[in-house]
Amino acid sequence: MHYAHTVIPGTQVRLRDIDPDASGGLTKDEGRERFASFNATLDAMQEELYAAGVHALLLILQGMDTAGKDGAIRNVMHNLNPQGCRVESFKVPTEEELAHDFLWRVHKVVPRKGMVGVFNRSHYEDVLVVRVHSLVPEHVWRARYDQINAFERLLTDTGTIIVKCFLHISKDEQEKRLLAREQDVTKAWKLSAGDWRERERWDEYMAAYEEALTRCSTEYAPWYIIPANRKWYRDLAISEVLVETLRPYRDDWQRALDAMSQARLAELKAFRHQQTAGATRL
């Protein structure tokens, strides 16, 4: 990948070594142009993914408040056919969800073959907010890294392509964004005192993210760190990761589509043949 930072499985993540301000040496206009080109490719790929029905795509987005998960979903999914997409947001678990294992609510909503599923937050909250706020004992959340890896292995073994993006903003950038929201009365509905409260635990969140990214970046479901202080760069980096991850599967989809085309044509030919034979008999 050119724009995102790939977490090589088995390596230790140190977020402070990764610049959230990265621009890849591009101007905003250049970045937007490249993004548009990736987006067009993604559009074509989604059509093949949908029609072939061989794989599902699951995009997992994580990040601190204001990191831009909503904006990324709006921009990166912008060109896709809504029929083939579904966004799932994970909030504070309900009483029923808490009465099950932590993956229960997640497994129920993973995308079926042919579909693109986007997770706005995910099962990673169960090793992030849950850890920072000690919502379960340490041995419980500690066991979850392996449980998450096993769950994601099951999904990838059964046809789901997983792309995990951590939107990396700086603490200063978060403050700017939170303050900007307060200035814009039309966006006051976005305000939350909770965002300021969570911000006080920034370092604890960073430690939790570092461990999650380190322990759960695998060959089959790697983590990508997306420099996200610049929104245009964030969108560019995510769209590149998606396009480059999906590209190797295109041959499979093409083969499935060719086989479908052959079968449909043969069916039609047999139908026409039958019709002609019927007409001759008359």
Residues lying near ligand ADP in the complex (CB under 6 A):
65, 89-93, 120-121, 125-126, 129-130, 192
Q: How far is the CB of 130 from ligand ADP (least distance, A)?
A: 5
* 123 or 215: CB nearest ligand ADP: 123
Q: How far is the CB of 74 from ligand ADP (least distance, A)?
A: 13
DSSP class of residue 127 equals G
Q: Are 242 and 163 in contact (CB under 8 A)?
A: yes
The number of angstroms, rounded, from the C-alpha of 250 to the middle of its chain's C-alpha atoms is 19
Written as one letter, the residue type at 121 is R
Quote the tokens at residue 85. Answer: 């997409």
Residue with the shortest CB distance to ligand ADP: 125
Q: How far is the CB of 45 from ligand ADP (least distance, A)?
A: 27
Minimal CA–CA distance to 209: which of 131, 264, 274? 131
* 213 or 243: CB nearest ligand ADP: 213
The number of angstroms, rounded, from the C-alpha of 43 to the middle of its chain's C-alpha atoms is 16
Q: How far is the CB of 89 from ligand ADP (least distance, A)?
A: 6
Q: How far is the CB of 171 from ligand ADP (least distance, A)?
A: 17
Measure Cα distances from 75 to 20, 223, 232 in Å.
19, 20, 9
Q: How far is the CB of 257 from ligand ADP (least distance, A)?
A: 36
The number of angstroms, rounded, from the C-alpha of 214 to the middle of its chain's C-alpha atoms is 18
Q: How far is the CB of 88 from ligand ADP (least distance, A)?
A: 11
Partners of 164 in beta bridges: 60, 223
DSSP class of residue 3 equals S
Q: Are 163 and 59 in contact (CB under 8 A)?
A: yes
* 125 or 240: CB nearest ligand ADP: 125
* 125 or 173: CB nearest ligand ADP: 125
With residues binned 3-state (H G I as helix, E B as strand, rest as coil), the percentages for the chain, rounded to 5, are 60, 10, 30
* 41 or 75: CB nearest ligand ADP: 75
- Whole-angstrom Cα distance, residue 23 to residue 15? 17
* 38 or 124: CB nearest ligand ADP: 124
* 104 or 271: CB nearest ligand ADP: 104
Strand order in the sheet with 223-227: 5-6, 223-227, 160-168, 56-63, 116-120, 85-89
